[in-house]
Amino acid sequence: MKIPLFGLDKKKSGDKELPGQFQEEYRPDLIRRAVHVLQTAARQPYGSHPDAGKRHSSRLSKRRKNYRGCYGLGISRVNRKIHTRRGTRFFWVAAFSPQTVGGRRAHPPKSQKVWDIKINKKENQKAIRSAMAATLQRELVAHRGHYLPAEYPFIIDSKFEKLDKTKDVEAALLQLGLDKELERSAVKKVRAGIGKRRGRKYQRKKGLLIVVGEDCPLLRSAQNIPGIDIVPVKGLDAELLAPGSLPGRVTLWTEKAVDIITKENLFT
> pLDDT tens, 34-49?
999 999 999 999 999 9
Q: Which CATH number does the domain housing residue 159 bear?
A: 3.40.1370.10
Q: Are 110 and 158 members of one domain?
A: no
Q: Are 233 and 136 members of one domain?
A: yes
> pLDDT tens, 100-147?
888 889 999 999 999 999 999 999 999 999 999 999 999 999 999 999
HSE-CB of 187 using CA atoms within 13 angstroms: 7
Q: Are 89 and 140 members of one domain?
A: no
> pLDDT tens, 201-255?
999 999 999 999 989 999 999 999 999 999 999 999 999 999 999 999 999 999 9
Burial of 197 (0-12, 13-18, 19+ CB in 10 A): exposed
Q: Are 142 and 230 members of one domain?
A: yes
Q: Distances from the Cα of 58 to the Cαs of 33, 78, 81, 93, 266, in angstroms?
A: 48, 9, 4, 9, 63
Residue 22, pLDDT > 90, answer yes
Torsion of CA 206, 211, 215, 218, to 10 degrees: -60
Instruction: Check residue 79 and give its pLDDT.
Output: 85
The rounded Cα 88 to chain-centroid distance in angstroms is: 59
Which domain-ending residue is among 114, 132, 152?
114
Share of the chain above pLDDT 70, in %: 100
Q: Are 99 and 128 members of one domain?
A: no
Which domain-ending residue is among 114, 137, 161?
114
Contact 62, 71 (CB under 8 A): yes
Q: Are 103 and 188 members of one domain?
A: no
Provide the residue range defining the domain that includes 246.
Answer: 2-43+118-264
Q: Are 72 and 88 members of one domain?
A: yes
Q: Are 98 and 149 members of one domain?
A: no
Q: Are 86 and 192 members of one domain?
A: no
